[in-house]
Amino acid sequence: MHKCTKCDKSFKSGLALRGHQRVHSDNYTDVQKAHTARLIAATNKKNQNLKDEYYKKPIQCLCCNEIISYEKTTSYKGERKFCNKSCAVTYNNKLRPKKSKEIKNKISKSLSSYYQNNPIIKHNVFQGLTLQNPSLANIRQCLQLPAHIVRLR
Asked if the structure places residue 110 within a domain, the reply is yes
Asked if the structure places residue 143 within a domain, the reply is yes
Whether 145 has a pLDDT exceeding 70, the answer reads no
Q: What is the pLDDT of residue 123?
A: 46
Asked if the structure places residue 113 within a domain, the reply is yes
- The alpha-carbon radius of gyration of the chain (Å, integer) is 33
Helices within 5-100 (DSSP H only): 14-21, 28-56, 70-74, 85-95
- The boundaries of the domain holding residue 106 are 102-152
At a CB cut-off of 8 Å and minimum separation 6, what does 121 contact? Answer: 115, 129, 130, 131, 132, 142, 145
Average pLDDT over residues 17-46: 83
Asked if the structure places residue 19 within a domain, the reply is no
Is the Cα dihedral 18, 23, 26, 29 positive or negative?
positive
Structural domain count, the chain = 1
Average pLDDT over residues 122-142: 51
Residue 130 vs residue 83, higher pLDDT: 83
Average pLDDT over residues 18-35: 78
Whether 11 has a pLDDT exceeding 60, the answer reads yes
Asked if the structure places residue 138 within a domain, the reply is yes
Whether 50 has a pLDDT exceeding 70, the answer reads yes
Asked if the structure places residue 30 within a domain, the reply is no
Find the range with the poorest average confidence among 22-26, 38-42, 55-59, 108-112.
Answer: 22-26
Instruction: Give the integer Cα–Cα distance in Å for 115 and 121.
Output: 7
